[in-house]
Structure 1
Amino acid sequence: MGYYLADGIYLQWATFVKTIPCPQGKKNKHFAEAQEAYRKDVERAFGVLQARFAIVRGPARPWDLQTLTDIMKACVILHNMIIEDERDDGGEQNIDYEQIDKIPLSQVSLERTPDIMEFIQQHRRIRDRETHSRLQSDLVEHLWQIYSQS
């Protein structure tokens, strides 16, 4: 299960790694500084992608991890290609980016399918506060090991 770097307003869910308010000790202070710096970098980069690609602004829950990975990689690649093209291109091109093929509607089932039950179980695991605490503690130790070896 992946996680997001978050600030203090988020709940203590397994998918959010928050900073430590008023950190005590070198390990916790180092973690808080690193978490806040990485979070700001990610927010900046993600904001650029959200401004450019509507798919990044939408909800992510319906997709599985591989699909999300593919979407984000595609957006990063496209963004880099656009930036590179804008640097190289002295002239203007008229390209219609709003050309969208019609997507057929899918049937919705109201039955309890294995996919729905798996989604509910995963949602319960995400909301586990103990997993949140373990993840934060493990990351504090991991960052401290990297920091102390350098």
Structure 2
Amino acid sequence: MEKLPNAWKGQYTRGSQQGPTVMLEVVASHDMWIWHAFFGMAGSNEDSNVLNNSSIFDALKNVSVPLASFYVDGHHYTKGYYLGEGIYPDWATLIKGYSQSMDEKRAKFKRFQESARKGVERTFGVLQGRFDILKSPTRAIRFNKLKEYMNTCIMLHNMIQEDNGFQISLIKEAMLADPYNRPRRNIINRSRDRDTISREIRDRRVHDQLREDLTEHIWNLPATFVALTKISIYVIFI
């Protein structure tokens, strides 16, 4: 956004950035496979605003993906989770590190959580390195074209990863091997299910309980065992 028109700069600029930016929300796993991308929010928005406007949890709300059933420290959970930074809200599907590590258990969890999140930052670095167009001036490009360029680069990136044999995550293969049959529901049931799942996603109590369970789980593991799911959500400025 180095050549953004002056009339637009205010809505695309905020204090933490040197100049006008457009925000890209990315979900990536440790093998640099991009699972979700949402591009186009003005840089003046907070990360939580981007999250509320993205479609990251739409499939979950619409019951169009299989539930991720798992147990941690004796407690049962039915939804998967992403690793996020501290600026994100305390949702059941977003697990953040502790802002203050008061004991060794929390300090260890924070180290694991931050280490697992580095994959998504590395993914964007590789994405930018592969496609110079993402670093080019944008003044003469229409905004819709910018979105097309970004989506095209992300698709090509995933194709390159898979073709080179670097796409090693077992999650994608498991989802393809066991397709989910969406149940037939009328509009009333769909609306009720969506509202219920939306409340469950935003449940802070589940977030706190899951984080405590993961903290205890990691504390009891050998130091060489990586326990956290390495799928992270990240907002990047370009």
The question of a shared fold, defined as TM-score above 0.5 by the shorter chain, is answered with yes
CA deviation after TM superposition for structure 1 residue 40, in Å: 1.5
Which residue in 1 is equivalent to 2:160? 79
CA deviation after TM superposition for structure 1 residue 14, in Å: 0.5
Letter in 1 for 2:108: H
Provide the TM-score with structure 2 as the length reference. Answer: 0.38
Residue 22 of structure 1 aligns to a residue whose secondary structure is coil
User: Aligned ranges for residues 54-73 of structure 1 at < 5 Å?
Assistant: 54=151
Higher helix share: 1
Give distance in 2, aligned partners of 1:17 and 1:117.
Answer: 26
Question: What whole-Å deviation, never above 9, does each CA across 1:105-139 have from its counterpart, x for those lacking one?
Answer: xxxxxx84312221111000011110000010011
Question: What whole-Å deviation, never above 9, does each CA across 1:1-60 have from its counterpart, x for those lacking one?
Answer: 011101110111111111111201111110001101101123433775798972897xxx
Q: Which runs of 5+ in 1 are unaligned?
A: 58-74, 85-110
Which residue in 2 is equivalent to 1:40? 118
Give distance in 1, aligned partners of 2:206 and 2:103.
Answer: 22
Matched, 1:140 2:233: no
> How many aligned residue pairs are there?
107
The ranges of structure 1 where at least 4 consecutive aligned residues each deviate by more than 2 angstroms after the TM superposition are 42-57, 78-84, 147-150
Provide the TM-score with structure 1 as the length reference. Answer: 0.57
The one of 195, 205, 219 aligned to 1:130: 205
Contact 1:49 1:79 (8 Å CA) reproduced: no
Q: Which runs of 5+ in 2 are unaligned?
A: 1-78, 132-148, 166-185, 226-238
The one of 87, 101, 107 aligned to 1:29: 107
- Select the structure with the greater relative contact order (CA < 8 A; seq sep ≥ 6): 1
